[in-house]
Amino acid sequence: MIQRIQHLYFGFVIINLSILLSGIQLCAYEAIGMPHQLNAFDIRNGKEVVMLFPLYIVVILLMLLFIAIISQYKKLKLQIKLAKITFLCYLFFVLGITAVFIAGWLPNAPSNLTLGFGYYLLILGLPFTYLGLRGIQRDKNLLDSYNRLR
């Protein structure tokens, strides 16, 4: 039930994550004189798969957590707990992907790393996750203040 602004924020993050599942490029790098591309499913050297990189499992789990947050709109305490857990999981996922890129843990000794559009979509979802969490906390504070007035 989309009735609050935080549900729109979480819906936007779900759309961003689903775009990652379409196979959009997270990064490209050059290794052994050949260009490689990383997406949510694997690392490719042209059309040949170099290594399976199952990020899609984490992306699907994050999407399911966001759907669970949206569906728990009547239970604010549970929704806040789920939102905090999801925010931390999403933050660690983004930091982990960034660490893989910066530290060069990609196969075949990468050089000349360029970040793709998928990485920027991944980063763009992080502030919207935080805004959604803040919106849920504001709703809880508003309901608590109404309960004090009664």
Element spanning 30, H or E: strand 27-31
Q: Which position has the token pair 């109404």?
A: 146
- Confidence (pLDDT) at 10: 94
Mean pLDDT of the chain: 88
Cβ(136)–Cβ(79) under 8 Å?
Answer: yes
- Confidence (pLDDT) at 2: 60
Q: What CATH number was assigned to the domain covering residues 11-149?
A: 1.20.140.150
- Confidence (pLDDT) at 26: 87
Q: Report the percent of the chain where pLDDT is more than 70.
A: 96
Q: Which position has the token pair 């602004």?
A: 5
- Confidence (pLDDT) at 49: 84
Q: Quickly count helices (H) and strands (E) in the chain.
A: 4, 5
The residue among 50 and 120 whose pLDDT is bigger is: 120
Average pLDDT over residues 20-43: 85
| Edge-to-edge strand ranges of the sheet holding 111-115 | 48-52, 42-45, 34-38, 27-31, 111-115
Q: What is the pTM of this model?
A: 0.86
- Confidence (pLDDT) at 11: 93
Give the residue among 85, 78, 80 at the shortest CA–CA distance from 61: 85
Q: Length of the chain, please?
A: 150
